[in-house]
Amino acid sequence: MRQEEQNGGCFQKIANIARLAAQHDDLQRCCTFIIMTSTLDDSEKEKARSVSVDLNNDASLLIDIPDALCERDKVKFTVHTKTTLSSFQKPDFSVPRQHEDFIWLHDALVETEDYAGLIIPPAPPKPDFESPREKMHKLGEGEATMTKEEYTKMKQELEAEYLAVFKKTVQVHEVFLQRLSSHPILSKDRNFQIFLEYDQDLSVRRKNAKETFGSFFKNMVKSADEVIISGIKEVDDFFEQEKTFLLDYSSKIKDSTARAEKMTRSHKNVADDYIHISATLNSLSVDDNTALKKHLEKFADLFEKLRKVEGRVASDEELKLTELFRYYMLDIQAAKDLLYRRARALADYENSNKALDKARLKSKDITQAEEHQQQCLQKFDKLSESGKRELTSFKGRRVVAFRKNLIEMSELEIKHAKNNMALLQGCIELLKSN
């Protein structure tokens, strides 16, 4: 328990340092592990941009999260806005926001009827520090079986991992806001503007049990509804195609995401093994007094270097591949939601048609029914129109993002492999010359 607390404290410290680093925008000045991950930071920023690559970098509303602070489970983000829009009181301001505030904003957007025809950018996933924390705990337990050096290295590795998670969290939140700000309609949303501008704590209530259940129930109803309305004949080929495509694609990408995650995780394990091997080789070389000593030292040294590269390979794969897939998995879910809303509107329209027929038959409330039918039709048409636009832009966005990430990933893979090769060649030559 104590250990855990210690670790928590340690993480907080790192986060604080990260925060400082971010604030001063001078990563070099901070501790080694910050430096270690500072490049990672860059690549993450790239990635962030790559995910939201189609954002029209409209200078009228620029949002970023320059700073975040991790307190226990909560992460406090500082949301910084720079704008030329007159709807804001000041051109430059910062507000503190928590993850829950983001969720509130997302829910508010989803529930706004007017945005039914839009793909609402997926809410950022909840910060998950459990896995590194758990690992840290495990490491604390296994401390006795390791040499000091080994332990320190493992700890550093975990701290770096923690930091990476932290930074990733910041990035996904930033991306969420940036996508909103770049959207022509969503950027004008009142709630969004409040979110950005209100300089007090939004003090969004966490969902209580009833509400949680309510949303769960709503989801159930929605899925049931989806099944029901799936029977309705689609009137537009475009949407018919999109629907089948998205359904198929979402299940596939879900699978790919899970597998990519597994792959990167086992890659990390391999890199971690290198640490242990290097440490053991080192202690072996200490005991050795023969000609082998030098070889073992070099070998250990090599493994230490290799593990750094291997670790980078793993984290780059995660950033470029897993995160890409994850993001688009969520985005596709958002697109599917849009399709659902449209299908719902279609169903409503058909129902209103039926109601109108009925009313005509009964010659009762005809005008009312007509009105309702007209409304439904309008809504449906509006949804279809904006939906078509949104889906098309989504498609373009996806392709561009995939392209960028895949190129970057292959370049990184090649770079790392070349690094590895140089290390290996150097070591082989050293050994051979000896």
Partner 1 sequence: MATSSERSPPPFPEDLEPEPDEVGDQDSDDGEDIFLGTDNPLEIKMDPSLSASDITSSTKPLSEASSPPVMDLLSEPASEASSAPMVDLLMEPASEGSSAPMVDLLMEPASEASSAPMMNLLMEPASEASSAPMMNLLMEPASDDLKEPPKPDIDPLADIINDTPLSEGKTPVAAMPQEPPSDLFDDEPSELFAEPRQSNTAKQQQTSIFDEPDEDLFSEPLGEASKKPQNDFFKEALAPVAKASNVCGPLSDNYNEQPTDIFTEEAITTLPSAVSTVSVNSKTNGVHSDEEEPDIFAEATVELSLDSPRNDRKKKEAAKPSASASAPAPSVSASASKPQPKTLEEVQYITLEEEVEDKFELNISITNPEKVGDGMNAYMAYKVSTQTTLPMFRSKTFTVRRRFSDFLGLYEKLSDKHTLNGYIVPPPPEKSIMGMTKVKVGKEDNSSAEFVERRRAALERYLQRVVFHPSLLQDPDVREFLERDDMPRAHNTQALSGAGFLKMINRATDSLSKMTIKMNESDVWFEEKLQEVEAEDQQLRKLHIMVDSLVGHRKELSVNTGGFAKSVAMLGSSEDNTALSRALSQLAEVEDKMEQLHQEQAASDSFCFAELLADYIRLLGSVRASFDQRMKTWQRWQDAQNMLQKKRETEAKLLWANKPDKLQQAKDDITEWEAKVTQYERDFDRVSATVRKEVLRFEKEKARDFKKQIIKYLESLLQSQQQLIKYWEAFLPEAKAIA
Q: Which is nearer to partner 1, 176 or 328 (CB)?
A: 328
In the complex, minimum distance from the CB of residue 141 to partner 1, in angstroms, rounded to a whole number = 17
Residue whose structure tokens are 């983001």? 102
In the complex, minimum distance from the CB of residue 416 to partner 1, in angstroms, rounded to a whole number = 9
Q: Which is nearer to partner 1, 204 or 427 (CB)?
A: 427
SS3 sequence of 122-177: CCCCCCCCHHHHHHHHHHHHHHHHCCHHHHHHHHHHHHHHHHHHHHHHHHHHHHHH
Q: Would you report the helix, strand and coil content of the chain in percent, each value rounded to 5?
A: 80, 5, 15
Site string for partner 1, 402-431 (x = CB under 8 A): xx--xx--xx-xx--xx-xx--xx-xx--x
Rule CB under 8 A: say whether 142 interacts with partner 1: no
In the complex, minimum distance from the CB of residue 317 to partner 1, in angstroms, rounded to a whole number = 10
d(CA 272, CA 153): 9
Rule CB under 8 A: say whether 277 interacts with partner 1: yes
Rule CB under 8 A: say whether 333 interacts with partner 1: no
In the complex, minimum distance from the CB of residue 226 to partner 1, in angstroms, rounded to a whole number = 20
Among residues 374, 345, 348, the alpha carbon closest in space to that of 239 is found at 345
Tell which one of 284, 355, 366, 377 touches partner 1 (CB under 8 A): 284
The conformation of residue 113, written as its DSSP 8-state character, comes to G
Site string for partner 1, 212-251 (x = CB under 8 A): ---------------------------------x--xx--
Helix (H, G, I), strand (E, B) or coil at 88: coil
Q: Which is nearer to partner 1, 142 or 214 (CB)?
A: 142
Q: What is the DSSP string of 406-422?
A: HHHHHHHHHHHHHHHHH
Angle between helices 237-287 and 323-362 (to 10 degrees): 160
Among residues 328, 19, 38, the alpha carbon closest in space to that of 179 is found at 328
d(CA 323, CA 417): 21
Specify whether the CB–CB gap between 82 and 62 falls below 8 A: yes
Rule CB under 8 A: say whether 296 interacts with partner 1: yes
Specify whether the CB–CB gap between 81 and 196 falls below 8 A: yes
d(CA 44, CA 418): 22
Tell which one of 49, 135, 137, 295 touches partner 1 (CB under 8 A): 295
Q: Which is nearer to partner 1, 61 or 306 (CB)?
A: 306
Site string for partner 1, 248-267 (x = CB under 8 A): xx--xx-xx--xx-xx-xxx
Tell which one of 234, 288, 350, 365 touches partner 1 (CB under 8 A): 288
In the complex, minimum distance from the CB of residue 384 to partner 1, in angstroms, rounded to a whole number = 19
d(CA 432, CA 434): 5
For residue 32, how many other CB atoms are within 10 A of its CB?
A: 9
Rule CB under 8 A: say whether 276 interacts with partner 1: yes
Rule CB under 8 A: say whether 135 interacts with partner 1: no
**Chain contacts with partner 1 (rule: CB under 8 A):** 245, 248-249, 252-253, 255-256, 259-260, 262-263, 265-267, 269-270, 273-274, 276-277, 280-281, 283-284, 287-292, 295-296, 299, 302, 306, 395, 398-399, 402-403, 406-407, 410-411, 413-414, 417-418, 420-421, 424-425, 427-428, 431-432, 434
